[in-house]
């Protein structure tokens, strides 16, 4: 069986991106009644007008201006990761790079979402690290019940309760976030505002269907999703990218050359921004990392090779027909992300790590139809973040923190080697399974920066 999908399917997918047809794909087919009250009310699972309202409230939280405010905290977490790797280099030992970056993402989320200092509140940090896997990585039994609920929606509430294995963990998250939110109600936290406070600014009582602000319950639901969705996704990409750079020294050298060329070596005048004992490390911010075009291309190519989620779904709200394919109301549309990103017709030599695919000149050729000169598949060729109105709302934040920490690491550390083959878990559309084995990478201190 050919790995290339039927061109007509691509035409269907291309047509679905036409704005007039977007309403047909606005609904999530994931059974909301399968989820508990907290996660059933988060952006990922709500539908229709309710989803549109939540998306409108939350989108401004991820603007460039909001992300710029978080640079100091992301720098601090980045420097902590650098120090961990420098220590491993000094001891000349391999390091489980996935665990290093998992600790980084937890530190970032705790500090930017809740203003919890991971170093000053180690008890809370360890509790979060304990509970994260239980929420993100459902058991095989719960996965089977989840898929079964998709086939028999009327059984969804029962199947959800039967397979609920994380009540203790869920209560921990909800209680922790609720306590912080309640303490802050009506209290000014100063000039810096974390993401929880950004969301809380929109909070009000649930008085009408047309309300444009979050209720307290909605606030807790979105904050819980924020923590869980942003943890293993970014650490997964960082770990795999580190492995690939260790295997492709020429690309790693090109990245370091880009860092030297684009980033200033001036340290900030404000000593409070030097948040680490890593010497001569310039302060990074949102604008400085936007210059790193090859870095971004490497991240996107990593996601193409190893998408975090292999399939995502949409559901038709009304019956329609696209390119001769009848789509009845309520039909689930399954988009094979991994298959599309591995299609040799779209990505020649798809098994190779070639970041240049995502550099500007190459993209301009790919994103137009050679026959007509008009827009071709465009963003539909690259789907790890989804596409259309329900794409990943935290995409900009995810790329930002990945670029920040990788830039900090590569200025001080070289990924020397990665013995053995990369053994990744099978990506799925619900939850992120654990690595079957740690990704071990050998590092050495860099002297040439």
Task: Please state, in angstroms and rounded to a whole number, the distance separating the CA atoms of residues 267 and 282.
Answer: 5
Residue 185 burial (10 A CB sphere; 0-12, 13-18, 19+): exposed
Determine which helix (DSSP H) or strand (DSSP E) holds 316, and give its type and residue range. none
Q: What is the DSSP letter of 194?
A: -
Nearest to 75 by CA among 414, 407, 394: 407
Task: Say if CB 11 and CB 314 are below 8 A apart.
Answer: no
Determine which helix (DSSP H) or strand (DSSP E) holds 238, and give its type and residue range. helix 232-247
Rounded to the nearest angstrom, the gap between the alpha carbon of residue 347 and the centroid of all alpha carbons in its chain is 23
Lookup result for tokens 């990478």:
441
Give every strand in the sheet of 95-96, ordered side by side.
95-96, 440-445, 413-417
Nearest to 9 by CA among 333, 385, 349: 333
Pairing of strands 95-96, 325-327: unpaired
Task: Say if CB 104 and CB 80 are below 8 A apart.
Answer: yes
- Kindly report the CA angle at 361 between 358 and 364, in degrees rounded to 5? 80
The torsion angles phi and psi of 336, rounded to 5 degrees, stand at -80, 85
The torsion angles phi and psi of 350, rounded to 5 degrees, stand at -65, -20
End-to-end Cα separation, the chain, in angstroms: 49
Task: Say if CB 27 and CB 55 are below 8 A apart.
Answer: no
Strand partners, 312: 335
Q: Could you write out the DSSP letters of every residue in 144-175?
A: HHHHHHHH-GGGHHHHHHHT---HHHHHHHHH
392 is in an annotated binding site: yes
> 3-state SS of 197-252?
HHHHCCECCCCCCCCCCECHHHHHHHHHHHHHHCCHHHHHHHHHHHHHHHHCHHHH
Which residues fall in the annotated binding site for heme? Answer: 392
Which residues fall in the annotated binding site? Answer: 392
């Amino acid at each position: 069986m050919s790995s290339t999908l039927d061109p007509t399917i691509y035409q269907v997918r291309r047509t679905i991106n036409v704005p007039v047809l977007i309403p047909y794909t606005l609904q999530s087919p994931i059974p909301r009644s399968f989820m508990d009250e907290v996660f059933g009310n988060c952006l990922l699972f709500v539908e229709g007008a309710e989803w549109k309202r939540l998306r409108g409230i939350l989108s401004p939280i991820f603007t460039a201006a909001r992300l710029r405010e978080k640079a100091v905290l992301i720098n601090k977490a980045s420097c902590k990761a650098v120090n961990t790797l420098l220590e491993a280099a000094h001891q000349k030992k391999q390091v489980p790079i996935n665990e290093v970056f998992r600790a980084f993402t937890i530190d970032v989320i705790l500090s930017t979402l809740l203003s919890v200092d991971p170093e000053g509140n180690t008890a809370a940090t360890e509790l979060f690290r304990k509970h994260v896997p239980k929420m993100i990585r459902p058991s095989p039994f719960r996965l089977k019940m989840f898929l079964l609920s998709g086939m028999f929606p009327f059984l969804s509430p029962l199947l959800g309760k039967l397979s609920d294995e994380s009540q203790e963990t869920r209560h921990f998250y909800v209680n922790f976030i609720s306590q912080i939110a309640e303490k802050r109600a009506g209290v000014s936290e100063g000039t810096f505002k974390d993401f929880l406070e950004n969301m809380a600014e929109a909070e009000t009582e649930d008085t009408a269907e047309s309300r444009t602000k979050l209720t307290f319950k909605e606030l807790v639901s979105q904050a819980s999703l924020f923590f869980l969705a942003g943890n293993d996704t970014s650490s997964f990409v960082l770990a795999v990218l580190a492995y690939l750079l260790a295997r492709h020294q020429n690309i790693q050298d090109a990245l370091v050359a880009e860092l030297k060329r684009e980033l200033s070596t001036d340290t900030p005048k404000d000593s409070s921004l030097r948040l680490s004992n890593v010497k001569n490390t310039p302060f990074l911010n949102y604008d400085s990392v936007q210059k790193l075009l090859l870095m971004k291309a490497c991240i996107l190519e990593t996601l193409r090779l190893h998408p975090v989620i292999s399939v995502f779904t949409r559901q038709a709200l009304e019956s329609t027909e696209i390119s001769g394919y009848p789509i009845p109301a309520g039909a689930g549309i399954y988009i094979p992300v991994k298959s599309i990103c591995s299609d040799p017709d779209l990505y020649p030599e798809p098994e190779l790590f070639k970041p240049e695919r995502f550099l500007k000149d190459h993209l301009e050729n790919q994103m137009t139809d050679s026959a007509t000169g008009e827009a071709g598949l465009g963003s539909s060729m690259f789907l790890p973040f989804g596409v259309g109105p329900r794409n990943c709302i935290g995409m900009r934040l995810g790329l930002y923190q990945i670029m920040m920490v990788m830039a900090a690491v590569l200025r001080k550390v070289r990924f020397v080697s990665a013995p053995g083959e990369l053994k990744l878990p099978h990506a799925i559309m619900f939850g992120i399974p654990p690595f079957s084995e740690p990704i071990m990478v050998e590092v050495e201190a860099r002297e040439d920066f």
